[in-house]
Amino acid sequence: MSLVDSLFQNLRSSGRKAFMPFVTAGDPDVDFTADVIRELDRRGCSMCEVGIPYSDPIADGPVIQASYTRALAKKIKLRDILKMFSGLSGKVKMPLVTMVSYAIVYRHGLENYVADAKAAGIAGAIVPDLLVEESEELAKICKAADFSLIQLVTPTTPRERAVRIAKSSTGFIYYVSVTGITGERTELPPSLVENVGWLRKQTDLPICIGFGISRPEHVKLLAPVADGLIVGSGLVRRIAEAANKSREPVVKDVGEYAASLLSSL
């Protein structure tokens, strides 16, 4: 059982839902990222999704793309990010997972990536550009290591394919709330609740919803049908201000924003 499995088992047994913030590793630097992760953990977040900067991200909107660009401009390397995770190991309660392109995993070596990530205290990986038809090898490695391989289902995923993705995923299913890219939105699709309800009947895996969630009313709407909610752009936009402001107030602002959403769960 992975740390992600244990988290959702505990949440379900107590009737609670997961709140999962997203941050970009190395924006503006890894020390600041570590400070933000510790703050989010202190505020009671359930899990943190950490984006590994990549030059051609999949489905990321302008806010997260810009954060990747800033981190890459400073020549951040995977080894720097793994070192940061190692420094956090044992110091935060919430599991940490990476949002990582398959190109990075492949270049590092599938077995090496899983082994090095787990050694650094990482509990799983979301690989948005890994097709389910090509996921078997990585899924096998992850399963043997009790390392969650989290895959995505979108509103346009055919239902037969969605079931196949659910069967090959571990940890939880990342349900993409909207067609398009990440980013804060004022409204979410009216069909979202129905679609997630259908998927829930097909799998026992927890279902967490991401993309577009940025307001307390979004959290209140989706909490009854989701096992967890993922918030990214609203946090990353606040973190971007760290380049021009004193860092301590930015960390506090990020924590207060997360807490305002958490209070709606």
Residues acting as catalytic residues = 49, 60
* CB-based contacts of 257-260 (< 8 A; 24+ apart in sequence): 258/19, 258/21, 258/40, 258/43, 258/45, 258/231, 259/43, 259/44, 260/216
Strand 96-99 to 124-126 pairing: parallel
Other beta carbons less than 10 A from residue 87's beta carbon: 14
